[in-house]
Amino acid sequence: MIIISNKDQEPIGRALKDGALAAWPICLGYLPVGLAFGVLAQKAGLHPFEIGMMSLFVFAGSSQFIAVSLLAAGAAPIAIIMTAFTVNLRHFLMSSSLAMYMGQTSKKLLSLFAYGVTDESFAVNLFRFRQGGWDVKRALMVNHIANLAWVASTLMGGYGGKLIPERALGIDYALNAMFICLLVFQLRGKKYVITAVLSGGLAVMLALVLPGNSYIVLASILAATLVVCLDRKGFQS
Amino acid sequence: MLERDYIILVFAMGIVTYVPRWAPLYLLTSRRLSEGMIEWLDLIPAAILSALLLPALLLSAEPRQMSLLRPELLVAVPTFLFALKTKSLGGTVVVGMMLYWLAGRIF
């Protein structure tokens, strides 16, 4: 009983360290966005406590921004709830993708993990799962560290985000840069490059004609479906 | 002013944003997926990342307008090349931020 190779027995500290190493670019990126949200929410009349509560329960940047501007405009609650739902539908695709790597996970842990699925944690965790040496415990660390950074930065914004200069040190670009690199990691062959080019092009065109962010889901589904169909045809001929 | 209405609103928003995150994980993980479905899901990350990123680089905020001269896009080119060359996530984030900061000083 001395040698325990089971991963479940490893100290929590190592998973925390791996999670923190993977999550720091997310935290850096959340800081300016969270501050901006906090400032906006405070201007809309929300108390910092209410701001923190929304960040904790909703944990979805774009939905929260839209909710607060709708609140300020005096929109009906049902309109705000419906908008939050549509704006976040894209997470359905992300969770479907992540599901491929979580076969052995208990339903309870999956339900906890689902809470933390965001654009950013999805991209980071998916890359780590593919790379190997990654497990649900580490993925959960990434989710929760990112969550903590989000709640904290929105609270900070609510308390006095106006004091922080805008565009300081290019921090506004942190999430863009992270997505650029994570996209590069996804380009593992011609098929993926074609998908990305197609999806990006479609997204830009759709974004110009459709309101809101439905272009993300539409472009992704269209591009992936087209490439799978073309791939099938290629095999037949 | 922590009103009851606000608490209900936040709870409801929490539920509608949680369900799309939860349902696929809960339903798909234990299921055997068809080959076509696996191939499709395998392409989704590249598709989604590109669909998130490209409009953010090319289009201005409301009203949306395309421009090839946005600092977001100009900075993205060397950042992309750096990522391609080094495959370093942390390095790319730092380089992207630095270049964007520099671009802000020049433009």
Per-residue confidence at A161, pLDDT binned at 50, 70, 90?
Answer: low
Residue B5 at interface with chain A, using a CB cutoff of 8 Å: yes
Q: Do B54 and A60 touch (CB under 8 A)?
A: no
Supply the DSSP string of A49-89, one letter for each residue: HHHHHHHHHH--HHHHHHHHHHHHTT--HHHHHHHHHHHTT
Q: Is the pLDDT of residue B32 over 90?
A: no
The three-class DSSP label of residue B66 is strand
Residues in chain B closer than 8 A to A177 (CB atoms): 79, 92-93, 95-97, 100
Q: Which of residues 30-49 of A touch B (CB under 8 A)?
A: 45, 47, 49
- The percentage of residues in chain A with a pLDDT greater than 90, rounded to a whole number, is 53
Instruction: Give the tens place of pLDDT for each residue, B41-50.
Output: 889 989 989 9
Q: Is the pLDDT of residue B98 over 90?
A: yes
Tokens coding B4:
């009851």
User: For residues B9 and B82, what is the distance between their CA atoms, to the nearest angstrom?
Assistant: 44
For residues A188 and B58, the answer to whether their CB atoms sit within 8 Å is: no
Which of B12, B46, B92 comes nearest A181 by C-beta?
Answer: B92
Q: Which of residues 49-88 of A touch B (CB under 8 A)?
A: 49-50, 53-54, 57-60, 63, 67, 77, 80-82, 84-85, 88
Q: Do B47 and A220 touch (CB under 8 A)?
A: yes
A227 burial via Cβ count (<10 Å: 0-12, 13-18, 19+): buried
Instruction: Give the tens place of pLDDT for each residue, B56-76.
Output: 999 988 788 888 889 999 999
Q: Is the pLDDT of residue B82 over 60?
A: yes
Q: Which of residues 134-193 of A touch B (CB under 8 A)?
A: 167, 169-174, 176-187, 191-193
Per-domain boundaries in chain A: 11-186, 187-237
Angle (CA) A158-B9-A89 rounded to 5° is 95
Residue A194 at interface with chain B, using a CB cutoff of 8 Å: no
The three-class DSSP label of residue B59 is strand
